[in-house]
Each structure stands twice: as C-alpha cells, then as structure tokens.
C-alpha cells in the first residue's frame, strides 16, 4: 500500500492498481465532471464514452483498494451522475446506500435556465453489511426537540436527511455542519470566502468532508482521495485523527495541497476539528491568483 499520511503525485488508476487490495476504509472521490473545466494537466472535455470508460477504470481501482467493510462517496454533477451510478452498481457491484443532494448557495448565475444549486454525492458501500456508520457522530437536532419540545424526542437527535443543508455564513468560514437535513446545504467555497485556498477552483467545503469522514470511518482508519485537488479530504481526515492518502495527477496541486495541510495542522489541533469550532486559516497563504469556479472555463498556468 502507499505510505500513509501522504499526498502523492500520479495517476490514481495506476497507483491504486499497482498497490495491494483491501487497505482503504473510506474513499471520497470528487473527479473532474467532464464539463470543460480547465485543470492543470488534465483534459476535462472527453468524449462521453471515453469519460464513462475512464470512470469505470478508476472506480474499479477504488473498489479493489477498499476493504470489504469500506465505504465510497462519489461527488458528481448532473451530467454523469446517472451514468456513473449505473456503472458503480450494475457493473462493479457497489451497494448504493444514499443518493445525497448537497444543496449549496452561491451557485453560478444563469440567464436562460434555473440556477444550479446542488451536487450529487452518491454513498456506496463495498458490501451490503458490515460497514462503518457512526450514527451518533453525525446526529442533528430533530423538530421534536427544536419545535415541539416533545418528551418522546431522542435526546441524541436524529440522523440527517439525505439532502444536506448548511448555513453558508457558518459553514463556510468555520467549516462545520449546522444541524440540518440530508440535502446538504453547505455553501460552495466561493472566491470571497475565508476558507477558499485560491489556487484550485473546485475546493470542497471542509464541512462536507467532516460529516462523511465522521460517519463512515473511525479514528485510525485510512481515508483515500484519488482526486486530491486542494487537499480538503486530507485536511479533514488528519484533523479527525484518521490516516489519509491523497492522489493528484498535477504536481502543482500536490505541492500546494501539501502546504495547505501543513498549515492546517500547524494552526488547528485535531481536538478543534472534532469540536468544529475553529476557523481553517490556510487561505491564500501561497500567493496564488484566484481561479474561476468549476463550470466556468478559465486559463490556468501550465
Ligand atoms: C474536482 S477536482 C478535486 C477537488 C477536491 N475535492 C478539493 O476539495 O479540492 C479533481 C482533481 O482530479 C485530478 N485528477 C484528474 N485526473 C486524475 C488522475 N487520473 N489521477 C489523479 N488525479 C487526477 C485533477 O488534477 C483535479 O485536481
């Protein structure tokens, strides 16, 4: 297996297939959506068949790397959510547990159609039984508690719905989930937000990763992100006391993600992350110009 607690430069498919089977507890993957976004070193405008075939290859590599008890969360856009769900379930054999809608605010403005405000997060397990799901670590206050003062309410709260909401003014700068639902209403990480790194246009909010990692792994487990990007998964995993392995094809992104992680670990302790009470301050620390958001083409440095 790759050395743990590393962000590695390379092709995920090759690295995972060259490694052993069954060493990963949780994989979070946020691949390029094939929508023409300009990445450093990656063409995001492939032929449809080529993209779906490539997706099958990397999802098979993830399946192989997962322990039988492992979980796999796939963030994906409207364009390929259905195709990749079919491949993951029918061709590879993943078990779908939730089709989560992460509802965000600050979506891109449109002129001739409704503004997009969601990303799909497909939650799979490798096996139908025997996976980790830490219900108590992600419970939220129920309406019985907050509205009806109902004595029958479970004092521990309820499990979130599968549409996830987070209030942007709280979720984005502080990076934690507000009691909510399973449409995940965490704001996208917009250009003006403190959390934003500035050198990667697809940065996931740390609150989304915190919920996934708390629910589907335990301290000391191994969390894999085969499309590491700005390193959000690695930061969340490290601060929550999990081992992490991040892989990205771009040496540029890997270099910055390593610095982001180093900075996060030097300014925030794992305990702070568990409480979800501190600000991740590694914003624009490396002097890179901001880039456009996912879905908008922009020139990137080579
Ligand atoms: C949507 S971004 C991930 C963003 C990440 N979730 C974050 O929070 O910053 C997708 C990433 O996949 C990387 N990538 C594309 N093809 C890859 C491959 N074959 N192996 C590893 N990384 C790859 C790109 O360089 C890009 O950084």
Report pTM: 0.84
- Residue 195 C-alpha to ligand 1 middle, in angstroms? 19
User: Do residues 45 and 16 make contact, with C-beta atoms less than 8 angstroms apart?
Assistant: no
Give me the mean pLDDT over the 132-142 stretch.
92
What does the block give as tokens for 198? 């500035």
* pLDDT grade for 215, boundaries at 50, 70 and 90: very high
Q: Hey, which of 13, 32, 34, 234 would you mutate to test ligand 1's pocket, going by the most ligand atoms within 8 Å of its Cβ?
A: 32
Distance 148 CA to ligand 1 centre (A): 45
> Quick one: pLDDT at residue 279?
30
What is the mean pLDDT of the segment spanning 267-277?
56
Pocket residue to mutate for ligand 1, from 228, 231, 257, 259, most atoms within 8 A of Cβ? 228
Q: What is the pLDDT of residue 290?
A: 33
CA distance linking residue 133 with residue 30, whole number of Å: 21
With a cut of 50, say whether residue 171 has pLDDT above it: no
The better pLDDT of the pair 85, 185 is held by: 85
Q: How far apart are CA 34 and CA 46, in angstroms?
A: 6
Percent of the chain with pLDDT over 70: 76
> Nearest residue CA, atom 3 of ligand 1?
229
Ligand 1 mutation target, pool 2, 15, 17, 31, most atoms within 8 A of CB: 31
Cβ contacts of residue 148 below 8 Å, gap of 6+? none
pLDDT tens per residue, range 247-260: 999 999 999 999 99
Closest-lying ligand 1 atom to the alpha carbon of residue 41: 25
Which residues lie with the beta carbon below 6 Å from any ligand 1 atom? 11-13, 30-32, 39, 42, 200, 202-204, 226-227, 229-230, 232, 247-250, 253
% of residues, the chain, pLDDT over 90: 60
Domain chopping of the chain, boundaries: 6-275
Q: How many CA atoms lie within 13 A of 95 on its CB side?
A: 12
Q: Whose CA is nearest to atom 2 of ligand 1?
A: 229
**Structure-model confidence comparison of residues 226 and 114, the more confident one:** 226
Among 6-15, 106-115, 206-215, whose mean pLDDT is lowest?
106-115
From 1.10.1060.10, 3.40.50.150, 1.10.15.40, 2.160.10.10, which CATH number describes the 6-275 domain?
A: 3.40.50.150
Cα 54 to its chain centre, rounded Å, is: 20
């Amino acid at each position: 297996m790759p050395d743990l607690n590393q962000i590695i430069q390379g092709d995920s498919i090759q690295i995972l297939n060259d490694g052993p089977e069954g060493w990963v507890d949780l994989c979070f993957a946020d691949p390029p959506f094939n929508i023409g976004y300009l990445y450093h070193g990656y063409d995001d405008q492939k032929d449809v068949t080529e993209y779906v075939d490539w997706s099958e290859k990397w999802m098979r590599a993830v399946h192989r790397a997962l322990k039988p008890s492992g979980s796999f969360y796939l963030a994906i856009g409207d364009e390929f959510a259905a195709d990749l769900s079919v491949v993951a379930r029918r061709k590879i054999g993943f078990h779908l547990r939730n089709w989560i809608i992460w509802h965000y605010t600050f979506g891109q403005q449109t002129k001739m159609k409704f503004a997009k405000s969601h990303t799909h997060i497909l939650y799979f397990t490798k096996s139908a039984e025997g996976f980790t799901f830490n219900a108590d670590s992600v419970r939220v206050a129920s309406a019985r508690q907050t509205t009806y003062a109902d004595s029958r309410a479970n004092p521990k709260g309820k499990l979130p719905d599968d549409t996830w909401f987070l209030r942007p003014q709280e979720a984005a700068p502080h990076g934690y989930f507000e009691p909510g639902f399973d449409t995940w209403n965490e704001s996208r990480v917009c250009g003006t937000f403190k959390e934003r790194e500035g050198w990667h246009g697809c940065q996931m909010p740390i609150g989304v990763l915190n919920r996934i990692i708390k629910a589907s792994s335990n301290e000391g487990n191994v969390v894999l992100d085969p499309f590491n990007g700005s390193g959000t998964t690695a930061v969340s995993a490290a601060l929550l006391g999990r081992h992490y392995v991040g892989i990205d094809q771009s040496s540029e992104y890997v270099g910055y993600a390593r610095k982001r992680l180093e900075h996060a670990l030097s300014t925030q302790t794992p305990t702070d992350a568990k409480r979800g009470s501190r600000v991740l301050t590694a914003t624009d620390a490396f002097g890179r110009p901001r880039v456009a958001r996912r879905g908008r083409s922009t020139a990137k440095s080579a």
